[in-house]
Structure 1
Amino acid sequence: MKYILYWFSKIFFYCFTIWSIFFVICCSLGFFEFYLGWDIPFVEISMLKGKEMISVVAPDIEISMIFQPRAIIMIAIFPFFSFYFYLMHRFFKVFIADSLFHEKAIRDLCRFFYLNLAALLIAFIAAIASTISRGYFKIEESVMFIIIHGFVSIISYLYIDMAKKGADLKQENDLTI
């Protein structure tokens, strides 16, 4: 099972990274055409419900986005989650390695834990900002991210604690032999 998780996280990392690169390039082309007035092939500026919208149209693919501050946040989220899936891949790699109780494995587990805490903090700030701007609380994506990253943070913290205690026991056992 741990090999399946490792390979799924590795596949997610590569797929998400390729999609992120493609998405960021397409959105950048749209922003260049909109703000600099360049005429870029496959990029169209249109109006939807009174809001300006970019569309990047390639054969069999269309990416459309309304110009809002949230669009920039969404573009930044894709590279963040590419890095997240990379660290998740490293997290699961620790469990298929020959030895769990070494410094590099603990460092990889800590990186994944701290990234989950950062995602938890960002989602918490987004939920508070959304609640303040709306005037009432509503369960939306940021609340779901709080739940998911909170749970993953707790689990990864438990793994880190177990690995640190195991490393201490291994070092103590190596000294007594």
Structure 2
Amino acid sequence: MKNYFSIRAIVIGCILLMGSTQSCGVKYSLSGGSIPENMNTYTVLFFENISAMVIPTLSQNFTEGLKERIRTQSRLNQVDQDGDGTFEGVITNYAIGSSGVEANTGLAALNRLSITVKVKYTNRKDETGESDYEESFTQFKEFRGDISTNEEQLTRDIILMLTEDIYNRTFNNW
């Protein structure tokens, strides 16, 4: 009987908590994260590649990937400037290295492509500035063989992971 009242109290507490968070002006959805109701637009500025290895298409691909992630996973409308939420930054690292060595030969068994992006996010609708951040995000993929045969797909995969991390940090506060 005691367990019944404990479980009931927890359920009622959760319902009350959910009710109070919905009245805070934040809209929750499974795919859209928690985007404030007063936020309607976003801007993604061009992310310049300032890493030692400059890949000609990386800046454009990353910038477009971030725009697409937000466009497809939120209700926000993209604008070229002065969005309610603004993303800006630079690609600070694009590196290829070995991540594993074969015992017999001493040669690299696995290679790793890593990309780091520094992001500054500003929420113009949050007067407190609590949701603003400046943070670096890094992701990598391991691969076998020559980078030239894998680079395009690896880069695409890493951009997907990075944009997911940025989206989650921004709208799901992860």
**TM-score normalized by structure 1?**
0.24
Bigger helix fraction: 1
Higher strand share: 2
